[in-house]
């Protein structure tokens, strides 16, 4: 083999090496670009999940505030019912005193008539008192259900806050390292909604 042939062979080998190197570099750039795009997509998905978790937390806070306001409204209504019950009792006592006074002043027939009227009035007042006490009892039960619903809402709020923190620790696939408690959250929300419905039914 001549010197020129040897030189040509060296040049050809060098050109082949340079071509292979360029292909490998281009492939590495493409892989890096794809990895960057995938990372950006995962970051966007995580940001969306975090935003959804924040919206759920805010909704839970609004629900809790609404429950507290409803509980306060029911408490005030219960107090008003207690005042009305006392007034009805005073009216019943006054009616009884009036009946006794009329019995002393009028003849037996008139007294009997008044007593009959008073008895009807007292019976009506007793029914009114019974209805008032039943309403108060239902209000108390509604208050108890609302208090339980508030507790459930607070537990749900704490759970949602804990779940939100889990999104700060995700694996390479964008999944949370610590499993999400979706079933427990659904159970708490269902329990809270059931208690609210019970309280509303008792308040009607």
Asked if pLDDT for residue 192 goes beyond 60, the answer is yes
In a domain, 45, yes or no: no
Q: What is the C-alpha separation between 2 and 89, in angstroms, rounded?
A: 130
Burial class, 103, CB count within 10 angstroms (exposed 0-12 / middle 13-18 / buried 19+): middle
| C-beta of residue 49 within 8 angstroms of C-beta of residue 57 | no
Domain that holds residue 78: 50-203
Residues 26 and 104 in one domain: no
State which H helix or E strand residue 104 sits in: helix 3-105
Residues 177 and 118 in one domain: yes
Asked if pLDDT for residue 64 goes beyond 50, the answer is yes
Residues 124 and 171 in one domain: yes
Residues 120 and 157 in one domain: yes
In a domain, 19, yes or no: yes
Q: What is the C-alpha separation between 158 and 57, in angstroms, rounded?
A: 9
**Tally of domains in the chain:** 2
Asked if pLDDT for residue 75 goes beyond 70, the answer is yes
As given in the structure block, the two tokens for residue 25 are: 């570099």
Task: State the first-to-last Cα distance of the chain, in angstroms, to the nearest integer.
Answer: 108
Asked if pLDDT for residue 22 goes beyond 50, the answer is no
Using DSSP, state whether 48 is helix, strand or coil.
Answer: helix
For the residues 54-73, what does the mean pLDDT come to?
A: 85
- Model-level pTM greater than 0.85? no
Report the residue count for the chain: 204
Residues 69 and 4 in one domain: no
Residues 9 and 57 in one domain: no
Q: What is the C-alpha separation between 61 and 121, in angstroms, rounded?
A: 49
Closest residue by Cα to residue 172 from 33, 5, 45 = 45
Residues 79 and 174 in one domain: yes
In a domain, 29, yes or no: yes
Distances (CA, A) of 19 to 13, 26, 43, 138: 10, 11, 36, 87
Output phi, psi for 176, to 5 deg: -65, 140
Residues 89 and 178 in one domain: yes
Q: Is pLDDT larger for residue 118 or for residue 50?
A: 118
State residue 204's pLDDT score: 65
């Amino acid at each position: 083999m001549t010197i020129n042939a040897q030189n040509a062979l060296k040049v050809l080998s060098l050109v082949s090496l340079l071509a292979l190197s360029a292909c490998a570099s281009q492939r590495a750039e493409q892989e890096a670009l794809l990895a960057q795009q995938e990372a950006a997509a995962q970051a966007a998905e995580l940001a969306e999940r975090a935003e959804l978790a924040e919206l759920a937390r805010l909704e839970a806070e609004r629900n809790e505030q609404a429950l507290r306001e409803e509980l306060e409204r029911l408490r005030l209504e219960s107090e008003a019912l207690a005042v009305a019950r006392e007034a009805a009792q005073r009216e019943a006592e006054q009616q009884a005193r009036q009946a006794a006074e009329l019995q002393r002043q009028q003849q037996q027939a008139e007294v009997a008539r008044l007593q009959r009227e008073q008895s009807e009035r007292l019976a009506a007042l007793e029914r009114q008192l019974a209805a008032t006490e039943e309403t108060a009892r239902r209000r108390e039960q509604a208050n108890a259900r609302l208090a339980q619903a508030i507790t459930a809402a607070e537990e749900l709020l704490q759970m949602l806050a804990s779940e939100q923190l889990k999104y700060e620790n995700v694996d390479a696939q964008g999944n949370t390292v610590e499993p999400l408690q979706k079933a427990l959250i659904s159970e708490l929300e269902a329990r809270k909604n059931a208690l609210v419905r019970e309280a509303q039914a008792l308040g009607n």
